Chain A
Amino acid sequence: GNSVTQMEGPVTLSEEAFLTINCTYTATGYPSLFWYVQYPGEGLQLLLKATKADDKGSNKGFEATYRKETTSFHLEKGSVQVSDSAVYFCALSSGGYNKLIFGAGTRLAVHP
């Protein structure tokens, strides 16, 4: 069945460090891929998405490229800020009904 695997957290970085959160997936057909972010005390927010192979999603300095050959959608940011501290979820939508399959989430803590 469809599934998403994310690197385990927590990830702890200093401000201005480079961030990578790994995400790989298993899916039939042609899934769309998403990164959602959950800030403390808030609901899930869409961070970025990509709907076909080689597409790059980007938002707020974050980027992820849909790699069909490696079934990956790694999240990157060149310089993190304290305000980026949150839990990040990788997800896919496959099939006709737009059901989202989520990874377990990766907690990011950024220190000044």
Chain B
Amino acid sequence: EAGVAQSPRYKIIEKRQSVAFWCNPISGHATLYWYQQILGQGPKLLIQFQNNGVVDDSQLPKDRFSAERLKGVDSTLKIQPAKLEDSAVYLCASSLRTSGGRYGDTQYFGPGTRLTVL
């Protein structure tokens, strides 16, 4: 079974430029997540989709970040304009369902995109 695919793996941009990341989840997984992992910290959820609808985007900086999941499969995360503090690894994950709490559904992570903003 193919895992979560992400591209590009690395990206270097100047501040105020724009950048986009792509994610293809595991086939059949209804739920897709984007996390931001700053160096030395644990990942932090930016946005969560159930099929092509947004379930949670409470920690997404909406003035500069946007994300979409067309047709409930692939997803794109965009930053425009980028700031120095956006330097991080952006992780995409997927799970079969959105069940949390005691039914915590396993999330499978892609390799991530390392973004450096100069």
Q: Which residues of A contact B (CB under 8 A)?
A: 4, 29-34, 36, 42-46, 49, 51-52, 89, 91, 93-100, 102-105
Contact = CB atoms under 8 A, between A and B. Distances in A.
A97 B48 contact: yes
A97 B108 CA distance: 15
Contacts, number: 88
B12 to A, nearest CB: 18
B104 A104 contact: no
A54 B32 CA distance: 30
B40 A104 contact: yes
A103 B101 contact: no
Given A42-B111, A44-B109, A45-B109, A104 B99 contact: no
A31 B93 CA distance: 19
